[in-house]
A and B are shown apart, each in its own frame.
Chain A
Amino acid sequence: MKQIAANPVYKFLLFPVGQIILFALGASVILSLVTVLLAYLFKSNFIDFDLVERIMLILPQVIINGLTIGFVYSTIALGYTMVYGVLEFINFSHSEIFMVGGIVGIQLMAYFEHTGALATMNEYLVIALAIVLALIVSGSLAVIVERTAYKPLRGAPKLVPLISAIGMSFFLQDLVRLILSLTTGEFNVILPKFGTYDEFWKLAVPGMEDPLRIQIKSALIVGIAILMLVILNFLVNGTKVGKAIRAVAQDRPSASLMGINVNQIISITFLIGGALGGAAGVLFALKATKLDPFSGFFPGLKAFTSAVLGGIGNLTGALLGGLVLGLLESFAASYLGIFTNGAFGAEYKDIFAFAILIVVLIFRPSGLLGQTVGQKA
């Protein structure tokens, strides 16, 4: 057993991928069961149609949508939770780092469209380039923000950097708005149309009348997110830098006595978290197709909720929290209308996300998987 656990293929590929699949399947199955159970309970209230049938009809689609947005939340949530792990501080400007990544990605695609290259380029190459650019820009931006707005405040009372982060968040929103207004004249950026990734794969499922329709885009978002999560797992658990990040998170004075440059490690943490956020921005942009300087706020807040839901400071928790929140939101958006006979619609899905934040904070402040950062000296 020990030998299997030490095998790098298992440790850095099979284990994390298996864990992701387990979380995704587990959360989907549990939520589906709860929904179907509720449907049976309230079935008699609906006479014009069979509630259970109506629920089952769209269930696969609801799960796919939920997982797609859930993986985006997870990827953003990791940025919050990593920074919390090393600094015990909520980096509220992370939502703007995420937004910048998305906008930079769209702008690159728009640039390709402008030069006419977009029509001839491989669509996946375009997406890959956009993600790489977002990784670089958002990662560097996160480091710059840390150096200018947080580092000088280290050692100050905890509220001080928090307020600095909120200020940085507003500053970045308006900076992006200013830059976009000056360069393009308006601050909505719209994803150019290209390629075929908007289309659907149709999978015939035995026992179901209609084929299961999976948007290629959804599969792409999930696939890229999983790839990044696996790489992150390797970085944190398999490299010297990752070990140093964990050491700094657990005991900062001790880490410096090991010869670890704590400031450098904190910057690297912001770099990794920011880069992940930027890439998630591009994934989100593919789904949302339109971004503005303020569209980081809500996904950011929900990713923060995910991080708290899973147990802030805990990387695995952020992954699980994001998936659960994405699924819950998707279920709420699709089924609230049906269950309440149209009294509540999809627009109430956000209430769900934040109601969960409140419930978690009241009943289990350490989150689903609990805080595993360890003691602080």
Chain B
Amino acid sequence: MGTLLELTNVHSYYGHIHALKGVSLHVNEGEIVTLIGSNGAGKSTTLRTISGMIHPKEGKVELAGENISNLDAHRIVTKGVGHVPEGRGIFPKLTVQENLDMGAYTVNDQKTIKDRMELVYQTFPRLKERVAQYGGTLSGGEQQMLAIGRGLMLNPRILMLDEPSMGLAPVLVDLIFDTIKKLNEQGTTILLVEQNALMALSIANRGYVLQTGSIVLTDDAAKLKKNEMVQKTYLGIE
């Protein structure tokens, strides 16, 4: 299993704010890797830098050895990077089906699109009941399913999920995490950003801990879970 995604000494800015201060991390093919950290640590910024919504001032982002640091977001999508953004980014006035269609915007073969859509409906039967409904009228959980489903329409090499559990009822959180695990078992590499560190570390292979724009700790997920600092700061165990 080779390295699929690699960030080397990445520095990103929002205007004058130095949001990422030399982040280096890698994701191997077939892994679930999670980024944990408190608010404003730079987790979302890391994902946004990978997907090209912001470009790093220094350092590089490589996908399977290819430098994608300065590609536009829509070009990076065609390389097979799916990004389910924080807040889901559903198109409120497109129907569920149209939202899914948009996920496969870069796919031209109609049959492939249809097959993938079938797969998404199998994964989230709830969406099938809502095909003709506007995205904006769905409940929070359904919107999250739609956002993940829309990410799957791309059949990405790596799927990046930003806070998929945010604002969801516990029962839905379990469903979403089960789905993430299942997707990974079917071969999708996953980079997961999560506030709910305990859940994230339970399904991940490895984890990185971000603090104010820098990675302070990295290890296997199981070991991170037992790490004293992680337990104290992110898992709430004294």
Chain A interface residues toward B at CB < 8 A: 2, 240, 243-244, 246-247, 250-251, 253-262, 372-375, 377
| Contact for B94 among A243, A260, A262, CB less than 8 A | A243
Question: B51 contacts which chain A residues (CB < 8 A)?
Answer: 257
Chain B interface residues toward A at CB < 8 A: 51, 53, 72-74, 77-78, 83, 85, 87, 89-94, 98, 101-103, 105-106, 132, 136, 150, 154
Closest B residue to A261 by CB, please name it.
Answer: B74
Question: A255 contacts which chain B residues (CB < 8 A)?
Answer: 91, 102
| Contact for A374 among B91, B102, B132, B154, CB less than 8 A | B91
Q: Chain A interface mostly helix, strand, loop or mixed?
A: helix
Question: B92 contacts which chain A residues (CB < 8 A)?
Answer: 250-251, 374-375
Contact A251 B91 (CB under 8 A): yes
Contact B105 A259 (CB under 8 A): yes
Question: B72 contacts which chain A residues (CB < 8 A)?
Answer: 256, 261
Contact B91 A260 (CB under 8 A): no
Contact A262 B74 (CB under 8 A): yes
| Contact for A254 among B91, B98, B132, B154, CB less than 8 A | B91
The distance in angstroms between the C-alpha atoms of A256 and B73, with both chains bound, is 6
Question: B102 contacts which chain A residues (CB < 8 A)?
Answer: 243-244, 247, 255, 258, 260
- Shortest CB–CB separation between residue A274 and chain B, in angstroms? 23
- Shortest CB–CB separation between residue A366 and chain B, in angstroms? 15
The distance in angstroms between the C-alpha atoms of A155 and B77, with both chains bound, is 23
Given contacts A243-B94, A243-B98, contact A257 B89 (CB under 8 A): yes
Contact A260 B105 (CB under 8 A): yes
Closest B residue to A248 by CB, please name it.
Answer: B91
Q: Which of B53, B87, B93, B150 has the largest number of chain A CB atoms within 10 A?
A: B93
- The list of the 7 closest CB pairs from A to B, nearest first, reads A254-B89, A259-B77, A259-B106, A256-B73, A374-B93, A374-B92, A250-B91
The distance in angstroms between the C-alpha atoms of A118 and B53, with both chains bound, is 55
20 contacts between A and B (CB under 8 A): A243-B98, A244-B102, A246-B93, A247-B91, A250-B93, A251-B92, A253-B53, A254-B89, A254-B91, A255-B91, A256-B72, A257-B85, A257-B89, A259-B74, A259-B78, A261-B72, A374-B91, A374-B92, A374-B93, A375-B136
